[in-house]
């Protein structure tokens, strides 16, 4: 129970990596505020956000789902307000929400560029700012974690709009570590490698999967729960002297690309 009685906000928490993080935080004793942007009901009439809330409650913890576009600063404040109203405060904020629509560079629509920057980078900024203000007021410190990417360290032919936002998240956490350290607020980033989620599942053909499995020293693609563990560590008191740092969680892919 590394996060016993902590209150955690997870943006993009209804699917993929965000869902894995939200559930693992609850398993470690936290109450969770889940953010989602679009959440259509599935075949059983239950939306992914409702499923996550039910899964967390089945673990004996509390959860609430809040709809909102993270590119809008009002959403960050709404998430903090929900955490305070339902659970009494905020201890951890995880900026996980992100988009990555592959597109060639020369034909990149300005609208797609702005959307990607808005969600990935500005969304992280607004959450860190809103959560940081509340944590300062509470006076008991806290942890802010950005889910960046291995793409912060390498280029991508069809990701020229995406990789800069991931590098920006990494840089933002370094700067926030300096700006918020005096309040006992730790700011770090996690850089996932190739993780199988709803976003990329269709793109991971058998050929691509074989390629990655051969390049990844651990011999497999990542799963959302592989990212959740490092996030819990950074959120917990075990990482009480860790700030401005990053954890690359990629099965060794990056070192094998060098």
In the chain, domain spans = 7-200+224-251
Tens of pLDDT, residue by residue over 4-34, are 999 999 999 999 999 999 999 999 999 999 9
Region 183-201 average pLDDT: 92
Catalytic residue, from 6, 36, 151, 162: name it: 162
Catalytic residue, from 148, 149, 189, 236: name it: 149
pTM over 0.85: yes
CA–CA distances in Å: residue 213 to residues 16, 97, 207, 223, 253 = 20, 26, 10, 13, 9
166 given a catalytic annotation? yes
Instruction: Say what angle helices 224-235 and 16-27 make with each other, to 10 degrees.
Output: 50
Tens of pLDDT, residue by residue over 167-176, are 999 999 999 9
Sheet holding 7-10, edge to edge: 63-67, 31-36, 7-10, 92-95, 142-147, 185-192, 246-249
Cβ atoms < 10 Å from Cβ of 195: 23
Catalytic residue, from 36, 125, 148, 166: name it: 166
CATH number of 7-200+224-251: 3.40.50.720
162 given a catalytic annotation? yes
């Amino acid at each position: 129970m590394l996060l016993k009685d902590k209150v955690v906000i997870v943006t993009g928490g209804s699917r993929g990596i965000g869902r894995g993080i939200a559930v693992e935080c609850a398993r470690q004793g936290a109450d969770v505020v889940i953010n989602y942007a679009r959440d259509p009901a599935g075949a059983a009439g239950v939306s992914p956000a409702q499923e996550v809330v039910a899964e967390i409650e089945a673990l004996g913890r509390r959860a609430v789902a809040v709809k909102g576009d993270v590119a809008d600063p009002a959403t960050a404040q709404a998430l903090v307000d929900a955490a305070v109203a339902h659970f009494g405060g905020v201890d951890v904020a995880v900026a996980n929400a992100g988009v990555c629509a592959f597109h060639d560079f020369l034909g990149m629509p300005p609208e797609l560029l702005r959307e990607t920057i808005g969600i990935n980078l500005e969304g992280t900024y607004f959450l860190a700012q809103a959560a940081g203000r509340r944590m300062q007021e509470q006076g008991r410190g806290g942890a802010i974690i950005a889910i960046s990417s291995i793409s912060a360290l390498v280029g991508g032919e069809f990701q020229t709009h995406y990789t800069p936002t991931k590098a920006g998240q990494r840089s933002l956490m370094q700067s926030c570590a300096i700006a918020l350290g005096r309040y006992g607020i730790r700011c770090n980033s996690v850089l996932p490698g190739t993780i199988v989620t709803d976003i990329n599942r269709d793109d991971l053909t058998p050929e691509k999967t074989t390629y990655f499995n051969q390049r990844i020293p651990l011999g497999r693609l990542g799963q959302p729960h592989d990212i959740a563990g490092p996030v819990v560590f950074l959120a917990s008191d075990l990482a009480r002297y860790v700030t401005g740092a990053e954890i690359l969680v990629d099965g060794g892919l990056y070192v094998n690309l060098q």
